[in-house]
Amino acid sequence: MTDLTRIDGAELAGLLASGEVSSVEATQAHLDRIAAVDGEIHAFLHVNAGALDEARRIDERRAAGEQLHELAGAPVAIKDVLCTIGMPSTSGSRILEGWVPPYDATPVARLKAAGLVALGKTNMDEFAMGSSTEHSAYGPTRNPWDRERIPGGSGGGSAAAVAAFEAPFALGSDTGGSIRQPAAVTGSVGVKPTYGGVSRYGAIALASSLDQVGPVSRTVLDSALIHDVIGGHDPHDSTSLQREWPSFAAAAREGAAAGSLQGLKVGVIRELDSEGIAPDVHARFQEAVRLIEGAGGEVVEVSVPSIEYAVAAYYLILPAEASSNLARFDSVRFGLRVERPGQTVEDVMAASREAGFGAEVKRRIILGTYALSAGYYDAYYGSAQQVRTLIQRDFDAAFAQVDLLVSPAAPTTAFRFGEKVGDPLAMYANDITTIPANLAGIPGMALPMGLGDDGLPVGLQLLAPLFEDARLYRAGATIEALLAEQWGGILAHQAPQLTEVAR
């Protein structure tokens, strides 16, 4: 029988819909895979004890002749930043250890309504603050391609689960690259939707003006299928866009069938073409650009000059919003409480936050609180917001010239554990290529574009104008097919150490 963990989500969905495979069989196969390899990978913080019961109910509904969603019965992993009924939601932090929310985040609720089966919650940097998943309070996740390397962050658990064949689909969140950068270094496909295109209701907030929930998978089509389910307006989220969205899966299928990029004008971002980019990553990027040209795409160089200030602006805006959002974790209403006889409420709050937050979270709270303090607000937070406006205008100008922008999705392949954890500035610089899209609110995608000199995945980033997520999927699927042909299918589907892990 076909190994159900090794096939793409769309193919698995077809087998489920035809009745060739049951949801119980598909779910059990992935649970078995988790049991076999996750002791080495540590992609999951919690495995859903009710997954097989959920799968069984889907099988019963299908057997009764009920018309189900095309993904009904397929397994999915969920980043631990999203609230889930019946499963802990810790955001990778001790301060929320064991907390089980009374409601589902809207993206989770929409997956459930479509009949997908939750496999469990995936590991992440604490409160999504990090680029390596080394800042999780529950230990790091390891990259399935090389277990001595990081899987990216903050959503390393979701990307590793997909790359290790523990799940065909996963949900992540992207505040400055937390979907795209892990996808790049694990050979996966990750998408940050247009800001407001997917509800943030029930996503534990880091920086509310930057956070966006999106899909992680092994193919562009699979990400599009999940995006179709979770996207759309939600009255629970005041930033949710009230607009009609086309089918992203249809766009991806159209792009895969096209085989050509004729008529597409693609801009190479001058500021992200070589600055801080490792030589092997730059070489793969140049090869991908030539492939785009060979497929009929018109490639030109464009400038987004304010990108130079993106990392600095981001690391003022994000900590400021995080400082405000994380003030709710005060030990009074929910979460960890550390108290001793005779302490005041203020003492308990201070002791609980000291014990519950990790070093990186504390660092960013301090930075953010300082940036928002009297006398410094205009100089720091206010100035950063002005830079953000410049970045948005520069992207508008760039997209007036081209249909799509491209760059490396991460400046290097996966680095070794401990290599940057002691140098926050080096860690922050790792997000140089992904941060600008969050500041501008535009959609972005990372997909595999080959292997670096160390044999590890390299990611290509595609960026589209606001609301043009379908364009991203259409072009992404075409480019994915061209790259797969060039590389002979050795990307996310053949991580070299996975067989060894399974033994």
CA angle 271, 272, 274 (to 5 degrees): 95
Say which DSSP state 406 is in: E
Rounded to whole angstroms, the Cα distance separating 224 from 470 reads 9
Buried b (16+ CB within 10 A) or exposed e, 406-434: bbbbbbbbbbebebbbeebeebbebbbbb
Strands of 213-217's sheet in order across: 44-47, 117-122, 75-79, 169-173, 213-217, 189-192, 444-451, 457-463, 404-408, 265-269, 298-302
Rounded to whole angstroms, the Cα distance separating 224 from 227 reads 5
pLDDT value of residue 335 = 86
Do the Cβ atoms of 128 and 152 come closer than 8 Å?
Answer: no
Q: What percent of the chain has pLDDT over 70?
A: 97
**173 catalytic per annotation:** no
For residue 88, pLDDT beyond 50:
yes
pLDDT value of residue 488 = 62
For residue 501, pLDDT beyond 60:
no
Tens digit of each residue's pLDDT (9 = 90 or more) over 31-77: 999 999 999 999 999 999 999 999 999 999 999 999 999 999 999 99
Amino acid at 64: A
Tens digit of each residue's pLDDT (9 = 90 or more) over 308-341: 999 999 999 999 999 999 999 988 888 899 988 8
CATH class assigned to 9-307+389-502: alpha beta
489 confidence band (pLDDT: 50, 70, 90): low
Q: Tokens standing for 249?
A: 């899966």
- Residue 333 or residue 19, greater confidence: 19
For residue 381, pLDDT beyond 90:
yes
Rounded to whole angstroms, the Cα distance separating 223 from 168 reads 10
294-298, 344-348, 457-461: which has the minimum mean pLDDT? 344-348
List where CATH 3.90.1300.10 sits in the chain.
9-307+389-502
Catalytic residue, chosen from 23, 132, 173, 178, is 178
Catalytic residue, chosen from 79, 121, 192, 420, is 79
Buried b (16+ CB within 10 A) or exposed e, 7-19: bbbbbbbebbbee
Tens digit of each residue's pLDDT (9 = 90 or more) over 386-443: 999 999 999 999 999 999 999 999 999 999 999 988 888 888 888 999 999 999 999 9
Instruction: Name the 3-class secondary structure at 464.
Output: coil
Residue 296 falls in which region: left (phi positive, over 0), alpha (psi -120 to 50) or beta: left
**192 catalytic per annotation:** no
For residue 490, pLDDT beyond 70:
no
For residue 496, pLDDT beyond 70:
no
Nearest alpha carbon to residue 104 among 128, 78, 71: 78
Span 94-101, average pLDDT: 96
Span 248-274, average pLDDT: 95
Partners of 118 in the beta sheet? 76
Amino acid at 119: L
Q: Tokens standing for 35?
A: 């049991």
Do the Cβ atoms of 135 and 92 come closer than 8 Å?
Answer: yes
pLDDT value of residue 272 = 92
Catalytic residue, chosen from 22, 93, 154, 199, is 154
**178 catalytic per annotation:** yes
Rounded to whole angstroms, the Cα distance separating 24 from 31 reads 10
Span 465-487, average pLDDT: 94
Buried b (16+ CB within 10 A) or exposed e, 113-144: ebbbbbbbbbbbbbbbbbbbbbbbbbebbbbb
pLDDT value of residue 497 = 47
Rounded to whole angstroms, the Cα distance separating 141 from 125 reads 9
Tens digit of each residue's pLDDT (9 = 90 or more) over 100-142: 999 999 999 999 999 999 999 999 999 999 999 999 999 999 9
